[in-house]
Amino acid sequence: MKITIKKATNKDLSGIMELIKDVTDYHYKIDKYYKPFSKYKGLDKYTKEQLKGKSVKMLVAEDDGKIIGRIVGVIIKPPPYVSPKKIGNIDDIFIKEAYRHKRTGEKLLKELLKWFKEKKIKHIRLSVDARNKIGVKAWKKFGFYDYRIEMRKDL
C-alpha cells in the first residue's frame, strides 16, 4: 500500500462520488434529519463546479490509482458578524474506513493548510456533527477548537 496525494481532477469524479456517498450515508445513519445519498440531488454537478473553482482546493488520496480519501477547502466570505473579510472553510474530509489510522487525513489537511497560508488565510472553520466523536477528536488533535455550537430542538 502506497498512499499518494494529488490535486483532484474531473477524471476522479466517480471515485469522489463514492466517498461522498459514504459520508452522506454516515450522517443519515446518525440522524434521519440528514438526506441520504439517494435523495441528495445535484451532488455530482456541485462537485464538478468545485473542481473548476478558483477559490476551491480539492485533494484526493490514492492507493494504486484508487481514490481512498479526499479533502475540500474553500475560501469564503464569513458571516457579517465577524471581522475577517475572507476565511477558509473545510467543506469535507473523508477517508475510506479500511484506510484509516495511517495519517492520510493528516497529510491531506497539511497540504490544504499550506494552500490556505499561500492565500493569506488566517482563520479556518469547519462544521462537524456533534455525535461524530471520532471526527471531533481528530479535529482537536489538529489544533481546531470549539468555536460555536449549533443546537437543535425537534417540535
For position 107 contacting its own copies by CB under 8 A, the verdict is no
Positions in 32-91 near its own copies (CB under 8 A)? 32-35, 39-40, 42, 80-84
Residue range at the interface with its own copies (CB under 8 A); choices 1-9, 69-77, 99-107, 124-132 = 124-132
59 burial (CB, 10 Å; 0-12 / 13-18 / 19+) is buried
For position 4 contacting its own copies by CB under 8 A, the verdict is no
CA distances from 100 to 22, 77, 80, 104 (A): 14, 32, 37, 7
For position 134 contacting its own copies by CB under 8 A, the verdict is no
Q: How far is the CB of 64 from its own copies (least distance, A)?
A: 31
For position 106 contacting its own copies by CB under 8 A, the verdict is no
Q: Are 75 and 88 in contact (CB under 8 A)?
A: yes
Q: Which helix (H) or strand (E) holds 94?
A: strand 87-95
Shortest CA distance to 95 belongs to which of 152, 24, 23, 144?
A: 23
As a whole number of angstroms, the distance between CA 45 and CA 18 comes to: 14
Stretch 11-30: interaction string toward its own copies, x if CB under 8 A: -------------x--x---
Q: Are 88 and 42 in contact (CB under 8 A)?
A: no
Residue range at the interface with its own copies (CB under 8 A); choices 2-10, 57-65, 67-75, 126-134 = 126-134
Q: How far is the CB of 32 from its own copies (least distance, A)?
A: 7
Note the residues at the interface with its own copies (CB under 8 A): 24, 27, 32-35, 39-40, 42, 80-84, 113, 116-117, 121-131, 136, 139-140, 142-155
